[in-house]
Structure 1
């Protein structure tokens, strides 16, 4: 008897990652259309090729990615409709419309299930086009179109085609469903919004033939959308060499649950981009080891090697600092500049003399908040409203004092009318408040400037700190409290930022920013150390290039029978000679000398754009700049993530699982980088 042949199970096609498999085919996760298959994936592939060309081309590019160098040419961060040139903020669901087709030339006027009247044309006149809309419950399109004075009734086959398109599985129905998914993710709507009376009435009005999906269907479609977008984003960032990430721990007070959030930052093509990759629930005590393990699992899920991370930015919490030290090492941890700056401002507000004046202002504002009559009287005199400070935000105290001074005259007038009102501040106290505002204003401006995530911030920390010290030093307070306040601020800044010129993550970024270079360094010794560090990076980068060329040389020097064989031998010999003499190693140093000899550019110039435009002139410096520019100066991106998380986890959605919660945040963040609308052809 012949032995049985072992049959190896074939690996499923990657095409199936875009379809929900069923007995006779699969439903497309991108547009929810059912595609039949006959035991193969030809129809599925053709569907992607015809209807989702960007995705199809991206998959083809990934198949040959190992054979070709460089990132994919498909720009998933700027997917647009094939025939569209609009720059609308929200993703399109058609090549000629900001929303679904239900909002354009196929919109109807009645559509209510309560309306069963016969078609009654109503004219809407325009300077160029006259539209005659037929009220009907059976069609979402116009029955009559009058263009340039000529009326044309829609053909009956077109009317039936529109009805079919809005039925379940139809093209327009799929577009509406995708728009609903986007709305839920972006506007923090509950998943059961499609079951609410108001939403159902709206859809019956604009699209009576559309079958409104229920909560479970929406939940499943949301998961399918996440799976596809997650795969696309993971494939996209796989070609990026350098990342920075921010992380922090957030507690949902509504349900007493804790989460760790992570955002990653990168330079893609010529833009600085950020992405929310995780908000995972914490089930154990928040030790450094546990947080490090959680972060490691998140990066493993996204297939981002730890070696690609240039820096990690967090607050000064001991547990998260220890987690970064375990994960990446101490040298790659960067404390949040905004948190440290916040400590300076808090120290100022805690001073006894300053605290008493702030306390007096708070008492007056509290009186107006509790007295309706006083608030009404103040509103008659001034449209501006008093604002109360928040203990956890120092800048709220700054804004409170600023607003109080602006309307102090009206406040004093109103207080005189109420016997039980607190006393109004004297002219001397108002002068002190003005000096407090003048001293805190540079700190507030730096806090705003440094907290961005769409432009390079690592390179502006040292310049901003230097400008802040200079501006505060130039102040001339008239009161003793104002002078005392100035000394406190300068002392705290020196204490907390005195060694900032020794942080190589920031100094290298500053040196490679053509707007600043060396002009903001106050310590010649630290500047010298930073330049030496940059030169070592140049040599390391140059050696990597030389090693790559050395590996390739044997194949280049083979005798191919070409007339140029002898030239190749001479060329290789010249390279070896230059390498031995050290000339080739100095190429990067020559780049640096030439770069430093060039004048500074305007502060508003985008440094990333500059390096992409001049990477041929400075190939080695370009690679180093691309490594350090993704570093963000603060962990504010994670704070913003938590703000969005708080909006999502409201009482109407407090039963969301942690997995669904994280997926909604991921989908919520994607519109900002223009990738959400992938169903466009």
Structure 2
């Protein structure tokens, strides 16, 4: 196709412009404004220089690799090419569109020669240097960070030939250059973004845990969680730092404070969620601000005793968004959350729930023998090709066993039970030492699935990353109590298992049961914090509906509701008192400073302007009483999602309390997901990765939505 130098007809011009946009430009990266008028010569410069390279590369690259969203975005970025005449026209006639398309996307990256000063003009963006920076940025963002490909890929000859096919003027770069320029710039940008976002947050919650890599280097990870202005739960990874021995509570405490001081947010921390490891309990036993003499930790705690040793699992393609399981620390089985008198630390609900399961499976009748058969079958099936072929023919699978995750036992039992008795006999006949599952064994498997299924579902829900989870704790405990109470009458072999589960739940969650039974609160009782009850009521999905499962008498149910309502009102009054005190301090400060300056003349209020902001809080009688707001909420029949409900709510005092309570995470799953990303990044082939680069890649991978 050839284009004459003379101006094209309007119809042909519009058709060519649509062809140019659809063929050469990604909708996500660039567009041609409708008001742009192109002549034929500019179109020739804009389009036809890259036709051959684009078509040839597409023919060679028509594969599943291009189905990845990051790869497609990178591919369009590489093909992005515009002529100098077109850019000059945009800058002269369409400056707004020009800035939207070309400048905003490249803010925050150090590109030498791009800006010479505030008063200096921007150099020509169609130069090879600009395109080089743009492609390098895309490689780092989409391939290195989001696709988790190694930096050494840019030095691979095949990759360089591919980029050359896409853009012949691209200059080769080294992995060192990419690390020092792009990765460092992205890290600085993410840290700055986190700092700016947290400045506007009043209350936040941390999740903290330790991890060991393949080289037995210890790291401490800290994630931050808060409710934003749209009442949507947000989270980010604050830091992933090296934790050198000794791994004592004091060392963990000091490392945490250094990170918080760097972000200037220590006073904003509402709660800290950790597992039940002894070192974690000691680290935050007295909150954040403690003297060095307070913490006595002569015996070094084995924080990393439960390090991730099954490294081969990380070599597989793992969907980290569906990460469900949390490792149970091996050295803290007998620890109770009551050992922690501090109001700032909370135990991970998922860890505690799994400890209850482990207590229940210790010595129940009949169950150990059936579990041993299931484990033997799973072990042999992973080594036998004949069983693997038979399972493939039956379209079935047997889940692998993991000693540190009780959920794996549940999934193993469920997978074996789903095979069926006849097919299972056919499979076991292929074993060297035949294992037979009797009819009673199948009854036990069925009862185990019925008993443990709610535990599994709750453990998945309480580890959600995009929804509030603090409100799940109390309704979950109430539901499990009712579930075990009701199913006990329908089991034949697992009655002892149910009894042990009931006893363990009442012991490990005694603080919740004391509040539900309106009994005397015991000091240091586990899960005695009132926030769990308040969060359950203030979630529009629950309110007081979960109380029905307790099967209380009418007077007892009324007393329980009134006690929870009083807890919420007391918290609202405390917030109101704090706000009033702060306002008085501000007014006193402004009055004192104004005595030394000239008081400006007050502006006349506009006609029919009734803006509440002009009252300056002078009319206290117009403010809603906490009881009025709470009553309005409890009697509201609307049942919507948490964020939608509270974002449109006008109950300002309650919303302030909501933002604080629901920043709390029910579990430490967010920091466990960080470790899953870390294990994928530090694969068996990348164990010699530099420590600082490893930390940066983990930070960027977890916070990739901030790039």
CA contact under 8 A between 1:259 and 1:280: conserved in structure 2? yes
Distance in 2 of aligned mates of 1:257 and 1:95:
48
Q: In the superposition, relative to structure 1, how do residues 487 and 211 fare at CA in structure 2: closer, same or farther (>3 Å)?
A: same
Q: Distance in 2 between matches of 1:359 and 1:293?
A: 45
Instruction: State yes or no: 1:265 paired with 2:265.
Output: no
Contact 2:381 2:388 survives alignment (8 Å): yes
Q: Offset at 1:389? A: 1.5
Q: Is the 8 A contact 2:626 2:653 kept in 1?
A: yes
1:506 is aligned to 532
Map residues 32-431 of structure 1 onto 2, 5 A cutoff: 93-94=29-30, 108-110=54-56, 168-171=128-131, 173-182=132-141, 183-221=143-181, 222-252=183-213, 254-270=214-230, 271-304=232-265, 306-328=266-288, 330-352=342-364, 353-380=366-393, 382-415=394-427, 417-418=429-430, 420-431=432-443
What is the CA distance between 1:639 and its match in structure 2? 0.6
- SS of 1:110's equivalent? helix
Q: Among 627, 635, 639, which residue is 1:597 paired with?
A: 635
C-alpha spacing 1:300/1:156, structure 2 compared with 1 (3 Å): closer
From 639, 646, 662, the equivalent of 1:629 is 662
**Per-residue deviation, 1:660:** 2.1
Matched, 1:611 2:646: yes
Using the TM superposition, give the Cα deviation of residue 207 of structure 1 relative to its aligned residue in structure 2, in angstroms: 2.3
- CA separation of 1:384/1:675 partners in 2, compared to 1, >3 Å: closer, same or farther? same
The 1-side partners of 2:382 and 2:352 are apart by: 32
How far, CA to CA, are the matches of 2:57 and 2:619 in structure 1? 80
SS in 1 for 2:285: helix
Deviations 1:551-578 (A, max 9, x none): 54997998958889xxxxxx9xx99998
SS of alignment partner, residue 370 of structure 1: coil
Structure 1 ranges of 4+ moved more than 6 A? 140-143, 154-159, 164-167, 553-559, 561-564, 574-579
Q: Within the alignment, does 1:588 sit opposite 2:619 as a pair?
A: no
Cα deviation for residue 538 of structure 1 reads 1.8
Q: Distance in 2 between matches of 1:461 and 1:155?
A: 60
Looking at structure 2, the residues matched to 636 and 507 of structure 1 have their Cα atoms a distance apart, in angstroms, of 21
2:233 counterpart SS class? strand
| Unaligned stretches of 5+ residues in structure 2 | 1-20, 33-46, 63-77, 90-123, 289-340, 516-527, 551-555, 606-611
Once the two structures are superposed, residues 259-309 of structure 1 have per-residue CA deviations (whole angstroms, 9 ceiling, x without a partner) of: 1111100112222111011111111211111100000011112222x2211
TM-fit CA distance, 1:335 = 0.5
Any idea what SS the aligned residue of 1:503 has? coil
Shift of 1:384: 1.3
Q: Which deviations, in whole Å up to 9, do the C-alpha atoms of 1:80-128 show, x marking residues without a partner?
A: xxxx9xxxxx9955469xxxx99x978523369xxxxxxxx99x9xxxx
Find the aligned partners of 1:230 and 1:95 in 2 and give their Cα distance: 31
Deviation at 1:416, TM superposition (A): 6.5
C-alpha RMSD of the superposition: 3.8
Match of 2:478 in 1: 466
Whole-angstrom CA distance in 1 between matches of 2:27 and 2:203: 29
CA distance in 2, matches of 1:210, 1:166: 13
Cα separation, 1, equivalents of 2:464 and 2:587: 43
Change in 2 beyond 3 A, CA 1:552/1:91: farther
**Per-residue Cα deviation, 1:27-76 (whole angstroms, up to 9, x for no partner):** xxxxxxxxxxxxxxxxxxxxxxxxxxxxxxxxxxxxxxxxxxxxxxxxxx
Instruction: State the alpha-carbon separation in 1 of the partners of residues 135 and 52 from structure 2.
Output: 13
Quick one: structure 1 residues 320 and 434, their matched pair in 2 at CA, closer, same or farther if it must change by over 3 Å? same
With structure 1 as the length reference, what TM-score do the two structures score?
0.69
Q: 1:552-605, CA deviations, whole angstroms, 9 ceiling, x for partnerless residues? A: 4997998958889xxxxxx9xx999987xxx67872332223323333x43xx2
Shift of 1:667: 0.9
As a proportion of its length, which structure holds more strand? 1
Alignment size in residue pairs = 524
Change (3 A) 1:211 1:577: closer
Distance in 1 between residues matched to 2:51 and 2:500, nearest whole Å: 66
Check conservation: 2:210, 2:220, Cα contact below 8 A: yes
Q: SS in structure 1 opposite 2:235?
A: strand
Asked if 2 retains the 8 angstrom alpha-carbon contact of 1:266 and 1:272, the reply is: yes
Contact 1:262 1:279 in 2 (8 A): yes
Specify the alignment match of 2:706 in structure 1: 675
Contact 1:365–1:388 (Cα < 8 Å) also in 2: yes
CA distance in 2, matches of 1:576, 1:662: 48
Q: Secondary structure at the match of 2:703?
A: helix
CA distance in 2, matches of 1:478, 1:560: 80
- Structure 2: how far apart are the matches of 1:630 and 1:91? 36
- Whether 1:443 aligns to 2:455 is yes
Tell me, in whole angstroms, the C-alpha distance in 2 between the residues paired with 1:298 and 1:407: 51
1:536 aligns with 2:565: no
Q: Which residue in 2 is equivalent to 1:25?
A: none
**1:209 CA drift (Å):** 2.0
Q: Measure the CA separation in 2 of the matches of 1:318 and 1:516.
A: 34
Say if 2:469 and 2:666, in contact at 8 Å, map to a contact too.
Answer: yes
Instruction: Tell me, in whole angstroms, the C-alpha distance in 1 between the residues paired with 2:375 and 2:478.
Output: 33
Cα-to-partner distance string for 1:473-499 (whole Å, 9 max, x where unaligned): 222565542222222222222222232
Residues 365/515 of structure 1: CA separation in 2 closer, same or farther (3 Å cut): closer
Please list every run of 5 or more consecutive structure 1 residues that lacks an aligned counterpart in the other structure.
Answer: 1-83, 85-89, 113-120, 125-139, 144-153, 565-570, 677-681
Q: Which string of whole-angstrom CA distances, capped at 9 and with x for unpartnered residues, describes residues 507-540 of structure 1?
A: 2222322332334355766654443332222222
